[in-house]
Structure 1
Amino acid sequence: MSRFAARRFGLLMCFTSILATTAAAQECGGDLGAFLDGVKKEAVAGGIPAEIADRALAGARIDEKVLSRDRAQGVFKQTFLEFSQRTVSKARLDIGARKIKEYAEVFARAEQEFGVPAGVITAFWAMETDFGAVQGDFNTRNALVTLSHDCRRPELFRPQLIALIKMVEHGDLDPQTNTGAWAGEIGQVQMLPKDIIAFGVDGDGDGHENLKTSAPDAILTAAKFIQHLGFRRGEPWIQEVTLPENLPWEKSGLGGTLTAGDWFAAGVTPRDGNTSFASLPAALVLPQGRKGPAFITYPNFNVYLEWNQSFIYTTSAAYFATRLNGAPAYDKGNPETGLNDADMRALQTKLQALGHDVGKIDGILGSGTRVAIQKEQARLGMPADGWATPALLGAL
């Protein structure tokens, strides 16, 4: 996947039955030749000519580097401040502004047809591949053969391999030379073959959807995909806010039931002064606790979570898009000191022993750990802002 560990396996789960039956999707392992014969039969049964399937699979091999990346991959452990300041750099903002100007007509079409602003698309474009500069050097066909043959998640990757063969049939991919991310994502906005087939747009009018070399194709395809994920035209996605000293901190975090107006009434103040979306459902997110940067997230933020399930990545991408739309840099605040990896694991172990579901003990401040932290903070009479601190670890 992208070098920012973009994990969209949740999306893949929604599509596994489109091109393959459950039984076929779970075939894996064994002799590679026999496995590829099974893939060919499935492709042909789906209407792809046998000679196309043969051409797409000729010379396919297992890529051990893909398996290594798959075994080692994990969500980064940087804080929001560390990650967002590295990724939302002045250089990227400047390039993004130039790209928006250069492709103004394409972005105008994207917003007119799909309701997605230029900043939203451009932020993903930047964070996924540095505007197409770093798209990955893994042979896409071999990556998907490897992950389909491997028995960890064949139901996720085999349908993508069949979709790749369809792309070969359409003339949109050369199986011998096409490269991308290790998990089969392709092009300037790093999309999987099934998504390219379903949402691809020929933005430059050449009769093909080439997300590797055509910026118009990539921009419009991303816009159509983002619309499909549920983006609501004309609504915000994230808004920086300032906070009063006291709030019902236990109500912060994703998944709440309050509106933006409820938060405004409690003293939360948008930095841009815009309170016109007060009626929308809204969450108060505090990536590094109540003393760090603070944001209101709106329903459109869910699109970011569909794109990538990492909270730090999604919050950074959403913030990036606001910067491209003219928002100022966030107020860093003065967050309380967090925990190192060993202490975070120790905290997760304690939370698990108390009956909380924190998932894997991995040292990562994920959603399950944040929820557990809030519950324990509230029980201990501490501000329940979901931020892991030495004080909380000591209190437990």
Structure 2
Amino acid sequence: MRFVLPFIVAFCATSAQAATCGGSFASFVGGLKQEAIASGHDRATVDQFFANVSQDDAVIRADRRQGVFQKDFIDFSRSLISQNRVNNGAIYSDRFDSVFDRIEREYGINRGVLLAFWAFETDFGQVQGDFNTLNALVTLSHDCRRPDLFRPQIFAALALFERGDFSPTNTRGAWAGEIGQVQMLPKDILENGQDGDGDGHVDLKGSSPDALMSGAAMLSSLGWRANEPWLQEVTVPADLDWSLTGLNHQMSGREWANLGVQARSGSIANLPSSILLPMGRKGPAFLAYPNFHVYFEWNKSMVYVTTAAYFATRLEGAPAYNAGNPDPALSGEEIMTLQRRLEARGYDVGGVDGIIGEMTREAVQTEQERLGLPADAWPTRDLLNRL
């Protein structure tokens, strides 16, 4: 489940021989071929790779339709986390126990972390997507919304094709070009792909050991700190200074404990950490450790990242979170109105998209402080009206 930030990019740095995006699709593909040959790829191989590529309008429709990320944390997490997924997590943990042991030994990454991604991305490999990957990547590169993200993936797929690990006609996956059981982009596979089952190939679609080891290698390359926590549910005192909360504020675990923050289970690690209130001071509360930030390298959505990190703790034995009684969430339209009003006051909220991301939260928290409201970064209708 991929969420890509909705910024507009008109151009990207590529070969001067080709248009960077848009225009005739055939001419665009011709430019890709020229660039591939100019960078040293065999002409016959390039011709074979691009021989059947075509534009896929369904990819563009999927790209424009990411409203699921407008849900609040409680609704989103309840839609993704079921008892069936919890049960299956235990089953797959046992089934691939030796692989997870190896991951924990080599990378210091708890099995719950990979299990959560595996569950959310493909239901443990059962639903991997049916979009032609090359068509998806070329379509999204031709589209001028963010070609700089997808164009390099085409040439990474070409490199995988050259070593026998990608088929331009048969490799299929998600609409945004991710492949396999944990949904990795070709460049990530090229850089971090692991032959977990020892058969000489990196097969993220058919081999669970390959997929899990590759996912672990990618997380490690993104900066995962071995054998450290990532997220922990806590209780917070009602008189906490809410302006200290949010991912843009950090203190040590000991300092949080001195302020009355307590772990719901286990003990607080004495590491740099932030109080994360996904639905404000009346909802669930978590301590986010340094590894939590690595999740944003996998997916840019705050609600997805928080849900995936929480589910990983649940698969490790943590209890179901305390939902509390948060103030009602704003609708997508109300959030966009809020974002426009914040932009009018000079804040960069990362775009008017109806999604409460970290930049919107920081702006909300600053305005709450200015207005003398509890600065918990949760936008309410009262705040919207005051603005």
The alpha-carbon deviation at position 286 of structure 1 amounts to 0.2
In structure 1, distance between residues paired with 2:6 and 2:90: 31
What do residues 113-162 of structure 1 show as CA deviations (whole Å, max 9, x unaligned)? 22211111111111111111221111111111212233333322221111
The one of 162, 175, 179 aligned to 1:182: 175
The one of 3, 20, 33 aligned to 1:6: 3
Tell me the secondary structure at the aligned position of residue 361 of structure 1. Answer: coil
Q: Cα gap change, 1:329/1:36 in structure 2, threshold over 3 Å: closer, same or farther? A: same
Name 2:371's counterpart in structure 1.
Answer: 380
Name 2:309's counterpart in structure 1.
Answer: 318
In structure 2, distance between residues paired with 1:261 and 1:291: 23
The alpha-carbon deviation at position 170 of structure 1 amounts to 1.0
Pairwise mapping of residues 177-326 of structure 1 onto structure 2 (< 5 A)?
A: 177-275=170-268, 277-278=269-270, 280-326=271-317
Query: Aligned partner of 2:34: which letter?
Result: K
Name 2:359's counterpart in structure 1.
Answer: 368
Query: Aligned partner of 2:198: which letter?
Result: G
The number of aligned residues is 384
Structural RMSD (CA): 2.2
The alpha-carbon deviation at position 9 of structure 1 amounts to 9.2
In structure 1, distance between residues paired with 2:68 and 2:348: 18
Q: Cα gap change, 1:119/1:267 in structure 2, threshold over 3 Å: closer, same or farther? A: same
Is 1:391 paired with 2:385? Answer: no
Larger mean CA deviation between 283-292 and 355-364 belongs to: 355-364
Tell me if the contact between 2:282 and 2:326 (Cα under 8 Å) persists in the aligned partners.
yes
Q: Cα gap change, 1:43/1:354 in structure 2, threshold over 3 Å: closer, same or farther? A: closer
Tell me the secondary structure at the aligned position of residue 189 of structure 2. Answer: helix
Q: Cα gap change, 1:326/1:273 in structure 2, threshold over 3 Å: closer, same or farther? A: closer
Which runs of 5 or more residues in structure 1 are unaligned? Answer: none
The alpha-carbon deviation at position 101 of structure 1 amounts to 0.6
Larger mean CA deviation between 39-48 and 295-304 belongs to: 39-48
Name 1:173's counterpart in structure 2.
Answer: 166
Query: Aligned partner of 2:292: which letter?
Result: F
Tell me the secondary structure at the aligned position of residue 364 of structure 1. Answer: coil
The alpha-carbon deviation at position 258 of structure 1 amounts to 1.5
Q: Percent identity?
A: 52
Tell me if the contact between 1:8 and 1:306 (Cα under 8 Å) persists in the aligned partners.
no
Pairwise mapping of residues 97-112 of structure 1 onto structure 2 (< 5 A)?
A: 97-112=90-105
Query: Aligned partner of 2:183: which letter?
Result: Q
The one of 87, 95, 102 aligned to 2:88: 95
Is 1:351 paired with 2:348? Answer: no
What do residues 102-121 of structure 1 show as CA deviations (whole Å, max 9, x unaligned)? 01111111121222111111
What do residues 180-231 of structure 1 show as CA deviations (whole Å, max 9, x unaligned)? 1112111111111011011000111111111111101000000000101111
The alpha-carbon deviation at position 391 of structure 1 amounts to 2.4
Larger mean CA deviation between 180-189 and 340-349 belongs to: 340-349
In structure 2, distance between residues paired with 1:9 and 1:339: 20
Pairwise mapping of residues 10-89 of structure 1 onto structure 2 (< 5 A)?
A: 21=14, 23=16, 27-73=20-66, 76-89=69-82
Tell me if the contact between 1:75 and 1:310 (Cα under 8 Å) persists in the aligned partners.
no
Q: Cα gap change, 1:193/1:299 in structure 2, threshold over 3 Å: closer, same or farther? A: same
The alpha-carbon deviation at position 94 of structure 1 amounts to 0.8
Tell me if the contact between 2:18 and 2:32 (Cα under 8 Å) persists in the aligned partners.
no
Name 1:157's counterpart in structure 2.
Answer: 150
Question: Taking structure 2 as the reference length, what is the TM-score of the superposition?
Answer: 0.93
In structure 1, distance between residues paired with 2:81 and 2:93: 16
In structure 2, distance between residues paired with 1:33 and 1:355: 42
Tell me if the contact between 1:22 and 1:155 (Cα under 8 Å) persists in the aligned partners.
no
Name 1:147's counterpart in structure 2.
Answer: 140
Larger mean CA deviation between 181-190 and 345-354 belongs to: 345-354
Tell me if the contact between 1:48 and 1:169 (Cα under 8 Å) persists in the aligned partners.
no
Q: Cα gap change, 1:343/1:67 in structure 2, threshold over 3 Å: closer, same or farther? A: closer
Query: Aligned partner of 1:112: which letter?
Result: R
Q: Cα gap change, 1:87/1:94 in structure 2, threshold over 3 Å: closer, same or farther? A: same
In structure 1, distance between residues paired with 2:236 and 2:362: 20
Query: Aligned partner of 2:59: which letter?
Result: V
Name 1:125's counterpart in structure 2.
Answer: 118
In structure 1, distance between residues paired with 2:49 and 2:15: 23
Tell me if the contact between 1:26 and 1:155 (Cα under 8 Å) persists in the aligned partners.
no
In structure 1, distance between residues paired with 2:214 and 2:366: 41
Q: Cα gap change, 1:100/1:298 in structure 2, threshold over 3 Å: closer, same or farther? A: same
In structure 2, distance between residues paired with 1:286 and 1:90: 24
Tell me the secondary structure at the aligned position of residue 385 of structure 1. Answer: coil
Query: Aligned partner of 1:39: which letter?
Result: L
What do residues 20-67 of structure 1 show as CA deviations (whole Å, max 9, x unaligned)? x56468633344444333322332333432222222111111111122
